[in-house]
């Protein structure tokens, strides 16, 4: 098993407060670590919550850049919606065209946010286009069948663009490579998916209530657009962080003060351990 270091802030520890550390009096070392899973490279994996924390932090730091990318990719579903509304099409075909534009915009944003970190996007442009087109069609087919199917099987859509943009597979080979990642890290993948669903529901209901004075149809359209604006980049960053963590390629940077706080916490615990051992020796009469 791997190991995680606890991230409790040193400022929250009182040196004079009794801490139950279950210390061995004869052992001067303190195990300040807790069990956690290892990645394939032997590096301890981050908690799932760290993917979201890093995603929100990066989105907040570069909100203008990610907003621009999201709006550019969002032109695809907007164009698809205009085509469907202007043409007389069978219902299933209209749904397919809209979902195709929506899925293509989503996977292109995922590939773009990954290429910004991994680099080499221009050299892999053909492979990225092929993988995104294939996943776009796959996602549109699943959503046309039923949107719930597309939501449940979303990992089959999200990982191939990340794989190809990272340079780990070319073209259509990114599809099975991405699906293997989703299957191997099933629990983490669906934990992230659950988190994305919670964020989506919170944003959707929040803006639906805020826009309640508008007409029902307009209210839904604006709430859907705003939800997409927030959820697309967050979900792209979360799954990019997940992929980088389990492959060891893209590392989540710790907050600047985390290492210093951890060292201070360990120092305080060791001082407390030393005092506890001295008390034990006085009580037992050991020298």
Instruction: Provide the β-strand partners of residue 36.
Output: 2
In this model, does residue 186 exceed pLDDT 70? yes
Give residue 144's pLDDT: 93
In this model, does residue 260 exceed pLDDT 80? no
What is the rounded end-to-end Cα distance, in angstroms, of the chain? 38
DSSP state of 36: E
The domain limits of the chain are: 49-247
pLDDT per residue as tens digits for the range 60-94: 888 999 999 999 999 999 999 999 888 888 888 98
Distance CA 32, CA 81 (A): 55
Distance CA 193, CA 195 (A): 5
If you average pLDDT over residues 146-165, what whole number do you get?
A: 91
| Confidence class for position 252, pLDDT limits 50, 70, 90 | low
Give residue 36's pLDDT: 58
Global pTM value: 0.71
If you average pLDDT over residues 187-209, what whole number do you get?
A: 92
| Confidence class for position 44, pLDDT limits 50, 70, 90 | confident
């Amino acid at each position: 098993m791997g190991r995680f270091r606890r991230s409790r802030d040193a400022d929250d520890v009182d040196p004079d407060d009794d801490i139950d550390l279950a210390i061995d009096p004869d052992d001067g070392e303190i195990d300040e670590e807790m069990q956690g899973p290892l990645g394939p490279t032997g590096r301890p994996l981050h908690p799932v919550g760290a993917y979201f924390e890093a995603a929100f932090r990066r989105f907040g730091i570069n909100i203008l850049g990610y907003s621009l990318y999201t709006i550019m990719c969002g032109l695809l579903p907007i164009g698809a919606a205009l085509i469907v509304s202007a043409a007389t099409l069978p219902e299933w075909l209209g749904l397919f065209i809209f979902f195709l534009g929506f899925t293509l915009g989503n996977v292109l944003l995922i590939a773009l946010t990954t290429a910004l970190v991994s680099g080499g996007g221009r050299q892999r442009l053909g492979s990225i286009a092929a993988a995104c087109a294939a996943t776009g069609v796959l996602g549109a087919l699943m959503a046309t069948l039923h949107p719930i199917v597309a939501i449940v099987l979303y990992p089959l859509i999200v990982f191939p663009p990340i794989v190809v943009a990272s340079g780990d597979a070319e073209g259509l080979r990114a599809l099975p490579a991405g699906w293997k990642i989703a299957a191997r890290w099933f629990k983490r993948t669906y934990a992230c998916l659950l988190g994305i669903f919670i964020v989506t529901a919170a944003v959707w209901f929040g803006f639906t209530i805020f826009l309640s004075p508008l007409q029902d149809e307009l209210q839904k359209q604006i709430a859907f657009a705003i939800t997409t604006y927030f959820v697309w980049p967050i979900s792209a960053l979360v799954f990019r962080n997940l992929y980088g963590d389990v492959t060891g390629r893209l590392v989540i940077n710790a907050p600047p003060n985390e290492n210093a706080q951890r060292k201070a916490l360990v120092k305080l615990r060791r001082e407390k351990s030393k005092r506890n051992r001295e008390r034990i020796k006085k009580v037992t009469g050991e020298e």
